[in-house]
Amino acid sequence: MNRRGPVSLGHEDPGLQPERTLLAWRRTLMTLLVVCTIFLRWIPHFGLIALLPVIVSLVAGILIQIGLNARYRKSAKGLKQERIPAPLREVVVLGGTVIVLSVVGIYSVVSG
Amino acid sequence: MTSPDPGNVPSPDRDRLSASLLGGGCEPDPRFTLANERTFLAWIRTALAFLAGGIAVEAFTGDVFSPGLRRAVALSLLVLAMLVSASACVRWLKVERAMRLRKPLPLPVLVPILSLGGALVATGLIVFLVYGAR
């Protein structure tokens, strides 16, 4: 664990934690995309409000995807230095998106 | 950032928001931070599954359920999705704080909510299938 090569994306964590975390984010983003496409089926019933969740999830997905690359680099480097910043921004954006989607859904069902 | 000195350097990327939300304490083992992150993501995926279920019930089951029941099932799934995602965020923050202060981890409030909610929806559907569809 104490070899220090040139700065790269490599790390020496035998548990492959940065990869597992990155893949967990990818899975989650893909699920988010799937959910937002199902919302498209609502357009005939509820009208254009069903587009709102789609736009929100696309924007959030793109923002998180951009953040993830930087985050992977930080994780790989942070593991060597034994510290990784907490992903507060990503958690807030993703959690907020899912909450907004649920609220829009609830609102449409109740009012529609 | 290149100096490998884990001792007293201020944490990387601690803006004011993170500082106020995460509180004091010292940086936890990075593996724990990543594990907490993955747990949060797993809960979010659970919430997304509920959300997809709710949307799908509302959109596709017009021929199966009566309008009232369809709305009830869709609403309960959507409310579950909201509860699960909100408490996933809260729990992530609580666990992160507890790890920074080297305290025991908080109990998951989410688990009873989820099992109760799931059981209620399932019971409602069973009652409907047995008595309702005649």
**Confidence class for position B90, pLDDT limits 50, 70, 90:** very high
Residue type, A106: I
Please work out, in degrees rounded to the nearest 5, the angle formed at the alpha carbon of residue B22 by the alpha carbons of B28 and A68: 75
CA distance B134 to chain A (A): 26
Other CB atoms within a 10 A radius of the CB of residue B129 amount to 9
Please work out, in degrees rounded to the nearest 5, the angle formed at the alpha carbon of residue A14 by the alpha carbons of B30 and A24: 60
CB–CB contact A78 B30 (8 Å): yes
Contacts of B1 in chain A (CB under 8 A): 77
Contacts of B6 in chain A (CB under 8 A): 81-83
CB–CB contact B44 A94 (8 Å): yes
Residue-wise pLDDT for B13-72, tens only, equals 556 777 777 877 788 888 888 899 999 999 999 999 999 999 999 888 878 778 888 898
Across the range A61-89, mean pLDDT stands at: 81
Cα→Cα distances B3→A75, B6, B12, B44, B100, Å: 16, 9, 12, 36, 23
Residue that has been written with the tokens 């000195």 in this structure: B5
For a pLDDT cut of 90, what percent of chain B falls above it?
A: 31
How far apart (Å, rounded) are the C-alpha atoms in residues B79 and B134? 29
Other CB atoms within a 10 A radius of the CB of residue B89 amount to 19
- Nearest partner of A54 among A111, A106, A101, A109, judged by Cα: A101
How far apart (Å, rounded) are the C-alpha atoms in residues B116 and B79? 13
**Residue B9 has what pLDDT?**
44
Contacts of A17 in chain B (CB under 8 A): 30-31, 34-35
The domain ranges of chain B are: 27-132
CA distance B129 to chain A (A): 22
Please give the torsion angle defined by the CA atoms of residues B93, B80, B35 and B106, in that order, rounded to the nearest 10 degrees.
50
Contacts of B93 in chain A (CB under 8 A): 91
Check if the interface score ipTM surpasses 0.90.
Answer: no
C-alpha radius of gyration, chain A, whole number: 18
Answering whether pTM is above 0.90, one says: no
Q: Is the CB of residue A80 less than 8 Å from the CB of residue A12? A: yes
Q: Is the CB of residue A35 less than 8 Å from the CB of residue B55? A: yes
Residue that has been written with the tokens 């035998």 in this structure: A14
Residue-wise pLDDT for A23-65, tens only, equals 899 999 999 999 988 888 888 888 888 888 889 889 988 888 8
How far apart (Å, rounded) are the C-alpha atoms in residues B64 and A72? 46
Q: Which of B18, B21, B52 sits opposite A34 (nearest CB)?
A: B52
Residue-wise pLDDT for A81-91, tens only, equals 777 788 888 89
**Residue B46 has what pLDDT?**
93
Other CB atoms within a 10 A radius of the CB of residue B54 amount to 27
